[in-house]
Amino acid sequence: MRIAVAGSIATDILMTFPGRFKDQFLEEQMHKVSLSFLVDELVVHRGGVAANICYGMAQLGQPALLVGSVGADFTEYGAALSAAGVDISHVRVCANVHTARFTCTTDLDANQIASFYTGAMAEARELDLGAIHRAADGIDLVLIGADDPEAMLKHTDLAKQHGIAVAADPSQQMARMDGPDIRTLVDGASYLFSNEYEAGLMVQKTGWSHEEILSRVDVRITTHGGDGVVIEDANGILAKVPAVPAPNLVDPTGGGDAFRAGYLTGRASGLDHEASAHLGCTLATTVLETVGTQEYTLDHLTFLDRLTSAYGDEAAAIAKQALRSA
């Protein structure tokens, strides 16, 4: 299966606050919040949902096409992705703006306050998924992740025109997009990804019930953090998979992207939903125990050992079929 991943490509600026956000908010002053957090740590990492997913798939040995828009400062980042096995030949470079930037502060409870600078991502709407489909000799599935909203709608339309299956993953853009646009992204998707909170927001914004959303997609995948993932279709639950314990959690950023990378790798390799989720949950925990979303190099034997501990020998034997030489 030939998979393309369209979405943000960004630089992550990650900071750690050695306290709890909730202790800093005054209920009677919430209408005029003015806070500054003195942080103990600042690191800069490569990120963006599309790049994170492609990187994770490459680490598992499953190549994917990265589709997104970046600035002239992408040279070093692009070289690192290429070295990791990511196909960046369809990334659009904009000479006059910076690559998008995600700035995030995490507290002791793993709560986060973040902001996102669009930068070159705003020009992702200039990409032509149909042309990429032809140049790549065919794309079977495109994940349409958080990106310039107009680009997300355009990619969805072109995917339908060219018969490319869609994995809808609006995630962070749910807050910005209105109901009709979210309905356009979701309706007819082969896969729909969201976390538990986003699932509730989707119901609120689209006006569709959970059951109606299920009737409009083939498969819905909802992540529940430490409680694992639920995969379902209109007929009921297909799989309910617990998370892999993360005793050394250091950074929650990128766990969802890693899950998608593992799950899509499994599906591309012909695994069922449960086995694919085993890959996704195991890779997610690997990232949760790493500061940064692309700062890990996956050792397949260690990965399979961890998957075995969580899901058993039979599950590991099945997962091994999906892992290729990275």
pLDDT digits (tens, 9 = 90+) for 166-216: 999 999 899 889 999 999 999 999 999 999 999 999 999 999 999 999 999
pLDDT at 24: 84
Whether 103 contacts 114, CB under 8 Å: yes
pLDDT at 326: 40
Provide the whole-model pTM: 0.89
Per-residue pLDDT tens digits for 134-172: 999 999 999 999 999 999 999 999 999 999 999 999 998
Set 257, 272, 305, 313: catalytic member: 257
257 is catalytic: yes
Q: Report the phi/psi class of residue 82: left, alpha or beta, with left for phi > 0 and alpha for psi in -120 to 50.
A: alpha
Q: What mean pLDDT do residues 18-29 have?
A: 85
pLDDT at 219: 98
